[in-house]
């Protein structure tokens, strides 16, 4: 799924535990009735945000992640997160993180 939007705010990275970091960006769509979303970047994808700034228009490639949470009073609450896996500047400059190869060289 793709979402074209302007960056309103880039949050600071947060260390959730030893193996998990998250950084959020708040974006606004350019529609008759603009929509505001929070998009999350996890771990190695956080470096995608380094090349973007507030006010910049970006094409975000996202996937939706949903889950059910049961509150202390036993009511089901459904949560949805927008998780980015790629981001491109609208001017055509592509920003993509490629995973590092884990192969070992043998000499």
- Residue 49, phi then psi, degrees to nearest 5: -75, -20
Q: So what's the pLDDT on residue 90?
A: 87
81, 65 in Cβ contact below 8 A?
yes
45, 96 in Cβ contact below 8 A?
no
Q: So what's the pLDDT on residue 91?
A: 75
Q: So what's the pLDDT on residue 102?
A: 52
Q: So what's the pLDDT on residue 93?
A: 45
DSSP state of 78: E
pLDDT (tens, 9 = 90+) of the chain, 107 residues, equals: 999 999 999 999 999 999 999 999 999 999 999 999 999 999 999 999 888 999 999 999 999 999 999 999 999 999 999 999 999 998 754 444 444 545 554 54
Residue (of 42, 39, 45, 41) closest to 19 by Cα position: 42
């Amino acid at each position: 799924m793709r979402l074209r939007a302007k960056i309103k705010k880039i949050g600071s990275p947060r260390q959730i535990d030893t193996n998990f970091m998250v950084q959020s960006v708040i974006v606004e769509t350019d529609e008759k009735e603009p929509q505001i979303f929070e998009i999350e970047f996890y771990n190695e994808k956080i470096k995608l945000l380094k090349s973007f700034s507030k006010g910049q228009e970006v094409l975000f490639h996202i996937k939706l992640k949903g889950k059910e949470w049961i509150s202390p009073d036993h009511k089901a609450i459904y949560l949805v997160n927008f998780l980015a896996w790629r981001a491109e500047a609208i001017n055509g400059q592509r920003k993509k993180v490629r995973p590092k190869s884990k192969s070992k060289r043998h000499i």
